[in-house]
Amino acid sequence: MGSAVVQIDQATQQNAALVVQVAAAALRLKEQAQELVQAVSVFELG
């Protein structure tokens, strides 16, 4: 029983670390998208 709890704890910690990494990646992606919007804003359609 004790080893199962340890494994669950380890999995939970790994998941928490992945959440932090994904949040950082999402933030960087948002920043890059904003930069792209700025870069293409000089073009006009029509």
- Tokens representing residue 38 in the block: 């700025």
Domain that holds residue 8: 1-46
Nearest to 37 by CA among 13, 29, 14, 26: 29
Q: What is the pLDDT of residue 13?
A: 98
Q: How many domains is the chain partitioned into structurally? A: 1
CA distances from 9 to 18, 26, 33, 43 (A): 14, 26, 36, 52
Model pTM? 0.74
In which residue are the tokens 């004790």 written?
2
CA distance 46 to 43: 10
Tens-binned pLDDT, residue by residue, of the chain (46 aa) = 799 999 999 999 999 999 999 999 999 999 999 999 999 999 988 7
Q: What is the pLDDT of residue 44?
A: 86
